[in-house]
A and B are shown apart, each in its own frame.
Chain A
Amino acid sequence: MKLNIEQSDQYKEVEITIKYSSTDAYLERLINQIRAYGYVIQGKTEKDTILVRADDIFYFESIEGKTFIYGEKEVYRCDLRLYQIEQQFCNGLFVRISKSNILNVEKLKSFRAKLNGRLEAKLINGECLEVKRHYVADLKKCLLEMGGLR
Chain B
Amino acid sequence: MKRLKDILRNVCITFTVLALVFGIACKMHILESVMYEEAIFTLFVMALATTLFVMIRESILPNIEVGKGIIDMIGCMVIVLFICVIKGWATLSRAYFIMIFAMVFIIYLSVWLLTWWQSKRDEKELNALLKRKDSKNKD
Contacts and interface: CB of A to CB of B under 8 A. Distances in A.
Interface of A: 105, 108, 110-119, 133, 136, 139-140, 143-144, 146-149
Contacts of B125: 140
The interface centre, meaning the residue of A118, A140, A144, A147 with most chain B CB atoms within 10 A of its CB, is A147
Q: Is the interface of A mostly helix, strand, loop or mixed?
A: mixed
Contacts of A112: 123
Give the secondary structure class of B's interface. helix
A118 B120 CA distance: 9
Nearest to A65: B2
10 contacts: A105-B133, A108-B130, A111-B123, A111-B126, A115-B116, A116-B68, A117-B115, A139-B126, A140-B122, A147-B132
B118 interface: yes
Counting chain A CB atoms within 10 Å of each CB, which of B68, B130, B132 scores highest? B130
Contact of B119 (A117, A144, A147): A117
A9 to B, nearest CB: 26
Interface centre among A116, A117, A119, A140 (most CB of B within 10 A): A117
Contacts of B122: 111, 113, 119, 136, 140
Contacts of B13: none
B66 interface: yes
Nearest to A143: B129
A137 B90 CA distance: 45
Contact of A113 (B116, B129, B132): B116
Interface residues of B, number: 20
B112 interface: yes
B66 A115 contact: yes
B136 interface: yes
A117 B66 CA distance: 9
Q: Which of B66, B68, B69, B126 has the most CB of A within 10 A?
A: B126
Given A115-B65, A149-B132, A140 B126 contact: yes
B112 A117 contact: yes
A143 B133 contact: yes
B116 A119 contact: no
A147 B133 contact: yes
Interface in B49-88: 65-66, 68-69
Contacts of A115: 65-66, 116
- B116, B119, B132, B136: most-surrounded residue (chain A CB, <10 A): B119
A122 to B, nearest CB: 10
A133 B116 CA distance: 11
A104 B134 CA distance: 14
Given A115-B65, A133-B118, 9 more contacts: A112-B123, A116-B65, A116-B69, A117-B118, A119-B126, A136-B122, A143-B132, A147-B132, A149-B129
